[in-house]
Structure 1
Amino acid sequence: MRYIYSTLGKLSAEQLGMILPHEHVFVDLRTPDKPGYGQADTASVLALMVPQIEAIQALGVTALVECSTGGVGRRADLDLAVSLATNFPIVVPTGNYREPWIPAWVHSADEDELFNWMLAELTTEIEQTGFRAGWIKLSAGDDGITPLEARILRAATRAAVETDALIGSHTIRGSVVMDQLDIIEAQGGSPARFLSIHTQAEPDFALHRAIAARGAWIEYDNVGAVPVAESTDLILRALDAGLGEQLLISHDRGWYDPALPNGGVPKPYTVVSTELIPLLRARGVPEDTILQLFHRNPFRAFSRH
């Protein structure tokens, strides 16, 4: 049986419904060497983010995938605090972002150390939170994967093979995604356990097809950042191309930003529910396809044994 591992423990498909596969509760996009990096008062985070979670709970969303990883202010303890305050599961990653957002300890760690760290977070707990990482979040440079990013990816692939965890990567260019898939396959991993995050940013739709043809997931995660009709058109193009079984859809929104006063002004996670799905229905997308895109696909992607 497969489960999603969350802040509230492991959850089966029967316990979940709609899942948002790419959002952020807390992010710090300053590099880890900056003063105050990743620091925030728990009460301040709760005040800002609990209403955002409650808004999607009221719309029937049952879980959210946190995409803040090492290097961009992952705070699993704050994810847990928000989760407990709302009784809402959040799926938190292990892993690390790309250069220059890579902490000093990751720079100096060898592949075995990185593998052991990710494996421990996936199988035991993240830091001292009492819950396991649900997946692995990485990134690669726009101009190609660097040697350090490749080392992190090789370690991540070993951890994914061991646990069946999904590897998701913030990778803007489809050609770099293909290079990542080459590394994964050379390491004995499966492209079927890889997610190309921000696929919509690749203008060549042929590369969307090519990534999916390798067996990987693709993700359109800018809903609300562009006109909803534009997102709808791209989703319909993917469905017409037969990519529906490998497609994830989300906002890439939120979040508490410790670099801004009181965490800034969050962007709501509600646009998919209130605008996109109604427009997809109006454009003739069947109800079973809606369930596939927003219920079944996210569970299949992020669940593991």
Structure 2
Amino acid sequence: MKQLYTTLGPLPKERLGMILPHEHVFVDLRTPDQPGYGQASPEDVVALMAPQIETIKAQGITALVECSTGGVGRRADIDLAVSRATDFPIVVPTGNYREPWIPDWVRDASLDELERWMVRELEEGMEDTGVRAAWIKISAGDDGITPLEERILRAAARAGRATNAVIGSHTIKSRVVMDQLDIIEAEGYRAERFISIHTQAEPDFEMHRAVAARGAWIEYDHLGREPDDEVVALILRALEAGIGKQLLLSHDLGWYDPAQLGGGVPRPYTAMVERILPMLRSAGVDEATITLLTETNPFEAFAR
């Protein structure tokens, strides 16, 4: 049976409704060698972020995917603290971001060592939290994959093959996504278990079609960050192109930032329910498609 691994344990589809597949609770975009990197007390993060979670719970959101991976401040203990304080499932990744956000231990690790680390976090748990990673989050340079990023990607493909975990990648250009898919398939894994994060950043819509034709998920994660009419128009174009069954929708918002005084000012995860879904309904999108986009697709992408 497929389950979504969360901070509150594995959950089957019948216990979940709408899922936000790309958000952040805690992020540090400084490089890991900077003083104070990734440092904050769970209590401070709970105080700032719990109200954001309570707001989306009231909207009917039932889970959120944390996209802060290694190198950009992943703190599974903080995600767990926020989750317990709000009784709300959070889905946390293993993996690591791109250069220069790569800590020394990842830079020095062999491909086999990276694979074993990811598999351990997916099957046993992250650090001492007891929380199992649900998925693998990586990235690639905007102009191509560096040798170090390729090593991380190959380790992710092998760990994914061993566990059926989906791999999501912050990749801005779809031609680089195609290179990533080639590597994943060369390692014996499937394009269907890959998410092209930030697909909307690729201006050529035909590349959205091309990535989907390979079997991968595409993700429009700019809800609430770009003009609503532009966001809705892009979603409708994807639906008209017949790629709705591979489309994920989210905001890429939040979050507590330890580089900012008091964690900064969080940006809410509310635009999808508050504005985008009503606009889609007004444009003629039926409830079955709304359910596909907000419930079925995110569960199928991240569950294993």
Aligned match of 1:210: 210
Match of 1:30 in 2: 30
Map of 1:1-305 to 2, 5 A cutoff? 1-304=1-304
Aligned residues: 304
Task: Structure 2: give runs of 5+ residues left out of the alignment.
Answer: none
1:221-267 C-alpha deviation (Å, 9 max, x unpaired): 01111011110000000000000000000000000000000000000
CA distance in 2, matches of 1:178, 1:300: 22
Identity of aligned residues (%): 69
Q: Secondary structure at the match of 1:88?
A: coil
Cα contact 2:168–2:194 (8 A) shared by 1: yes
TM normalised by structure 2 equals: 1.00
CA distance in 1, matches of 2:302, 2:187: 21
- Paired residue type of 1:146: T
Q: In the alignment, is the contact (CA less than 8 A) between 2:168 and 2:195 conserved in 1?
A: yes
The one-letter code sitting in structure 1 at the alignment partner of 2:81 is A
Structure 1 length-normalised TM: 0.99
Residue type at the aligned position of 2:45: V
Rounded to whole Å, the distance in 2 between the matches of 1:185 and 1:166 is 13
Q: How far 1:42 moved relative to its partner?
A: 1.7
Kept in 1: contact 2:49–2:255 (CA 8 A): yes
Q: What's the offset of the Cα at 1:41? A: 1.6
What is the rounded CA distance, in whole Å, between the counterparts of 1:231 and 1:243 in structure 2?
16
- Residue pair 2:6, 2:91 contacting (<8 A) in 1 also: yes
Give, in whole Å, the separation in 1 of the partners of 2:46 and 2:214: 41
1:43 and 1:123 map into 2 onto residues whose CA distance is 28
Matched residue type, 1:50: A
> Residue 74 of structure 1 aligns to which amino acid in structure 2?
R
Q: Distance in 2 between matches of 1:41 and 1:102?
A: 23
Q: What secondary structure is seen at the aligned counterpart in 2 of 1:79?
A: helix
CA distance in 1 between counterparts of 2:102 and 2:193 reads 23
Task: Find the residue that maps to 2:120 and give its secondary structure.
Answer: helix
CA drift at 1:6: 0.4
One-letter identity of the residue aligned with 2:73: G
Q: Distance between the aligned counterparts of 2:209 and 2:157, measured in 1? A: 23
Q: Which runs of 4+ in 1 moved over 2 A?
A: none
Letter in 1 for 2:256: Y
The structural deviation recorded for 1:184 is 0.3
Given residue 157 of structure 1, which amino acid in structure 2 is its aligned partner? A
- C-alpha distance in structure 1 between counterparts of 2:120 and 2:283, whole Å: 45
